[in-house]
């Protein structure tokens, strides 16, 4: 071996050593915490004054992830764990040298914790380094939770587990007590449990984020592969839980030019744990009257708008049915069930589903029957999703989706795979995956159609790189899914650099994006459909929590038929190329008043377009907050000029973490209808809810407000364990 070869070999060994060092440097000793078994119940009040807490072993070896990666925490943080036959108890000591600086402005259930001081816990009960339960609280004792799958790739924040927490602020800092029933968790039936666990604390005034294990900026708490170990759990009893959640709903509704009528309804869910890790759910006469209205939007593109699911029944199982086609091609889209194309409710008669994990196999199966309404016949919707873990973080899966009507069928079959690692070059992330789907429709000439996707993603702190190719044939028809576009191929790539310049003391991170391209072709002809590109020469976030970016965009649209973009304004066929510019900025969300602003201007087809958006939030205190959102498009084309406007506002109030509500209003210049939604939610005990909702709409087209629809209802959901 010559000198050059020797040097290469030495550099190779050094590279391997540094990679090993990086990984080991994220493990802080002790990396295990032992739970103490207790015989007497803990009072959940945030005081942490029971003698059992003094006997428990506490861990305090937290390390900064932000702002100074690898440095010790600046405020002492400790955790201890207890358990009895029914519950896991987690005590948290968040000492603070300046308790007056603690930021805690949210109180309601499922709060957005990004702007508050908070403490987060993730528990990997299978200890498979993939899946976990996330529990979050702030100094007010607010609760939020999520289900984590595939080492953080999927996060279902709509899951509402049955658990409780109390917190209090003192002159020493803030403290919290968590009570998590074992019936809320799924775990194996071993005599001695070994779980993965990790903790994160955020001190907002300092922009400081600390973690117990795995504090690399290339990872997050949701990556449970970097978690520590929870030991000491022994003799946990098998949980044979039958849960019944009936509901009663009553109210009054009045439409314009019609007499008011009262309504009454009843139904509910039955949940049964077939095994400690597999749950059967049966739903009867399902009702979603308490769900807030969609935010209506004006569509100035040629393609479908995506509206997110808001119904708890479908949200709590969302992660089981995710499929590797990405956001533009979704074989299963739960809003196709129980909602008509014009977004009106269709009654759900009944349904059943099975969700769970056994060993390395994850299974989700659901079948729903909807009633006939107007011209829409009674329909059965079914979906089956199977995933198999492969190796440490990879996997393969299958999906089947069916829509069955009388004498008509539509369905999709598909398979996907993912290779994932967070150990590339030591501690870097890499994901490589693909998916294939085949649709069938019984009453069209070409009954089958295909869709495919291949993607590569490297989401890391300094360099982010993504690339993908996807295709949807003309005859691909997922009627229980979502297609943003039809009959296309997409070539996509994005490269972004995020350096952290130490010579700029106020700067946290630069964000420079030299490459971001979406190139759409007609799948049949190969002709251009659309081209979207963005170059970001300047973007940055500051240590004070602000963010700014400036983008240059180059777009193209190839219209093969006239495009009616607005009332009496139609853009003729042709190929259009245009350049646009954009500035975005937002301020730190931990302040009482913060906001987001955007201006996008430049060419648009053969004319000009200026888009403005402003979003402001004022948190008066932990009880009341206000927010407003305004959007405007000023468009001037040779075919005509017009302005669109969209306004919405919200007031949120919380009397305590179990009693909260909101008033939401919206209007846009296309529908010219004011929609108000008043919502109050009381949680008398974990797992039970009482809702009071008022919906009111006004037609404003005549220059004055004319009431068109009023609905007042109350809904009670109660939880029984048998």
**pLDDT tens-digit readout, 182-230:** 888 888 778 889 999 999 999 999 999 999 999 888 888 998 889 999 9
Measured CA distances, 460 to 152, 218, 498, 612, 704 (Å): 14, 5, 9, 31, 53
User: Residue 501's CB: how many other CB atoms inside 10 A?
Assistant: 11
Distance CA(242)–CA(720), nearest Å, equals 8
Give Cα 657 to chain centroid, integer Å.
21
Output the pLDDT for position 378.
Answer: 95
With cut-offs at 50, 70 and 90, classify the pLDDT of residue 239.
Answer: low
Distance CA(319)–CA(324), nearest Å, equals 12
Least confident of 317-321, 348-352, 441-445, 487-491: 317-321
3-state SS class at 273: strand
Question: Taking the CA of residue 644 as centre, how many other CA atoms within 13 Å lie in the half-sphere pointing to its CB?
Answer: 20
Closest CA to 199 of 223, 227, 172, 175: 227
3-state SS class at 134: strand
Dihedral pair phi/psi, residue 190, rounded to 5°? -85, 150
Contact in structure between 20 and 51 (CB atoms under 8 Å): no
The burial class, CB within 10 Å (0-12 / 13-18 / 19+), for 89 is buried
Peptide bond into 67 cis (omega under 30): yes
With cut-offs at 50, 70 and 90, classify the pLDDT of residue 76.
Answer: very high
Element (H, E) at 17: helix 3-25
3-state SS class at 629: strand
Quote the Cα angle for 688-689-693, to 5°. 170
Count of residues in the chain: 722
What token pair was written down for 262? 């009262």
3-state SS class at 57: coil
DSSP 103: -
- Inform me whether the pLDDT recorded for 707 exceeds 90: no
What is the average pLDDT across 360-364? 91
Contact in structure between 253 and 711 (CB atoms under 8 Å): yes
What token pair was written down for 667? 């209007």
- Inform me whether the pLDDT recorded for 20 exceeds 50: no
User: Residue 274's CB: how many other CB atoms inside 10 A?
Assistant: 12
Distance CA(393)–CA(387), nearest Å, equals 12
3-state SS class at 600: strand
Contact in structure between 705 and 698 (CB atoms under 8 Å): yes
DSSP 319: G
What is the average pLDDT across 436-446? 94
Measured CA distances, 125 to 4, 55, 133, 159 (Å): 50, 24, 8, 17
Question: Taking the CA of residue 356 as centre, how many other CA atoms within 13 Å lie in the half-sphere pointing to its CB?
Answer: 20
Output the pLDDT for position 238.
Answer: 56
595-642 pLDDT, tens digit each: 999 999 999 999 999 999 999 999 999 999 999 999 999 999 999 999
79-96 pLDDT, tens digit each: 999 999 889 999 999 999
Task: Dihedral sign for Cα 525, 530, 531, 532, please.
Answer: negative
What token pair was written down for 134? 């996330």
Output the pLDDT for position 154.
Answer: 77
With cut-offs at 50, 70 and 90, classify the pLDDT of residue 25.
Answer: very low
3-state SS class at 205: helix
Output the pLDDT for position 254.
Answer: 84
Measured CA distances, 521 to 434, 470, 524 (Å): 20, 11, 9
3-state SS class at 225: helix
DSSP 221: T
Closest CA to 639 of 578, 561, 566, 560: 566
3-state SS class at 76: coil
What token pair was written down for 589? 């969300």
Mean pLDDT of the chain: 90
- Inform me whether the pLDDT recorded for 23 exceeds 70: no
DSSP 376: B
What is the average pLDDT across 422-439? 91
With cut-offs at 50, 70 and 90, classify the pLDDT of residue 541.
Answer: very high
Dihedral pair phi/psi, residue 142, rounded to 5°? -65, 155
Contact in structure between 432 and 403 (CB atoms under 8 Å): no
Element (H, E) at 314: helix 312-315
With cut-offs at 50, 70 and 90, classify the pLDDT of residue 240.
Answer: low
564-603 pLDDT, tens digit each: 999 889 999 999 999 999 999 999 998 999 999 999 999 9
Output the pLDDT for position 290.
Answer: 78
**End-to-end Cα separation, the chain, in angstroms:** 74
What token pair was written down for 702? 């005549």
DSSP 372: P
98-136 pLDDT, tens digit each: 999 999 999 888 888 888 999 999 999 988 888 899 999
């Amino acid at each position: 071996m010559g000198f050059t070869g020797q040097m290469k070999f030495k550099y190779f060994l050094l590279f391997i050593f540094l990679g090993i060092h990086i990984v080991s440097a994220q493990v802080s000793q002790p990396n295990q915490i032992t739970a103490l078994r207790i015989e007497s119940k803990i009072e959940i009040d945030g005081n942490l004054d029971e003698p059992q807490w003094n006997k428990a072993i506490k861990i305090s070896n937290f390390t900064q992830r932000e702002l100074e990666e690898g440095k010790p925490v600046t405020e002492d943080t400790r955790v201890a764990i207890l358990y009895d036959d029914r519950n896991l108890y987690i005590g948290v000591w968040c000492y603070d040298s300046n308790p007056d600086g603690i930021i805690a402005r949210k109180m309601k259930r499922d709060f957005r914790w990004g702007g508050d001081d908070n403490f987060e816990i993730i528990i990997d009960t299978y200890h498979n380094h993939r899946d976990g339960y996330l529990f979050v609280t702030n100094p007010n004792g607010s609760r939020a939770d999520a289900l984590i799958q595939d080492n953080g790739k999927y996060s279902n924040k709509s899951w509402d587990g049955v658990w409780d927490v109390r917190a209090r602020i003192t002159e020493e800092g803030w403290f919290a007590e968590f009570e998590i029933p074992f019936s809320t968790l799924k775990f194996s039936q071993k005599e001695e449990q070994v779980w993965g666990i990790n903790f994160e604390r955020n001190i907002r005034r300092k922009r400081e984020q600390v973690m117990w294990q795995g504090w690399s900026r290339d990872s997050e708490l949701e990556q449970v592969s970097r978690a520590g170990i929870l030991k000491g759990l022994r003799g946990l009893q098998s949980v044979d839980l039958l849960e019944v959640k009936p509901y009663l709903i009553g109210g009054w509704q009045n439409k314009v030019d019609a007499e008011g009528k009262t309504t009454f309804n009843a139904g509910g869910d039955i949940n049964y744990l077939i095994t400690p890790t597999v749950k059967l759910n049966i739903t009867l006469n399902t009702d979603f009257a308490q769900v807030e209205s969609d935010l209506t939007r004006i569509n100035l593109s040629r393609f479908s708008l995506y509206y997110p699911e808001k119904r708890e029944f479908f949200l709590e199982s969302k992660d089981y049915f995710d499929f590797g086609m990405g956001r533009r091609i979704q074989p299963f889209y739960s809003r196709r069930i129980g909602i008509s194309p014009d977004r009106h409710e269709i009654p759900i008669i009944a349904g059943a589903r099975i969700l769970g994990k056994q060993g390395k196999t994850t299974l989700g199966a659901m079948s729903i029957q909807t009633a006939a309404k107007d011209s829409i016949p009674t329909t059965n919707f079914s979906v089956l999703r199977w995933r198999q873990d492969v190796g440490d973080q990879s996997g393969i899966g299958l999906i089947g989706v069916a829509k069955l009507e009388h004498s008509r069928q539509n369905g999709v079959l598909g398979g996907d795979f993912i290779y994932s690692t967070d150990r590339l070059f030591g501690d870097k992330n890499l994901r490589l995956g693909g998916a294939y789907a085949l649709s069938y429709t019984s009453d069209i000439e070409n009954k089958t159609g295909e869709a495919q996707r291949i993607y590569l993603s490297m989401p890391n702190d300094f360099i982010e790189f993504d690339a993908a190719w996807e295709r949807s044939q003309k005859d691909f028809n997922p009627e229980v899914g979502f297609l943003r576009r039809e009959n296309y191929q997409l070539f996509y790539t994005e490269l972004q650099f995020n350096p952290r310049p130490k010579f700029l003391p106020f700067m946290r991170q630069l964000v420079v994006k030299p490459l971001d391209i979406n190139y759409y072709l007609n799948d049949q002809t190969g002709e251009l459909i659309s081209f979207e590109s963005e170059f970001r020469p300047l973007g940055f976030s500051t240590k004070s929590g602000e963010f700014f970016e400036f983008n240059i965009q180059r777009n193209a649209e190839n219209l093969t038929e006239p495009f009616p973009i607005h009332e009496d304004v139609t853009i003729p066929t042709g190929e259009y190329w245009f350049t646009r510019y954009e500035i975005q900025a937002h301020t730190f969300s931990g302040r009482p008043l913060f906001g987001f602003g955007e201006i996008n201007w430049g060419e648009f087809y053969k004319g000009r377009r200026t888009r403005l958006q402003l979003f402001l939030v004022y948190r008066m205190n932990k009880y009341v907050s206000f927010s407003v959102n305004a959007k405007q498009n000023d468009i001037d084309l040779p075919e005509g000029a017009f302005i669109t406007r969209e306004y919405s506002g919200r007031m949120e109030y919380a009397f305590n973490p179990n009693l909260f509500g909101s008033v939401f209003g919206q209007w846009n210049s296309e529908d010219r209808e004011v929609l108000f939604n008043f919502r109050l939610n009381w949680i008398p005990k974990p797992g039970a809810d009482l809702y009071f909702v008022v919906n009111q709409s006004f037609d404003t087209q005549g220059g004055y407000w004319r009431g068109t629809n009023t609905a007042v209802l109350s809904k009670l959901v109660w939880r029984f364990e048998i």
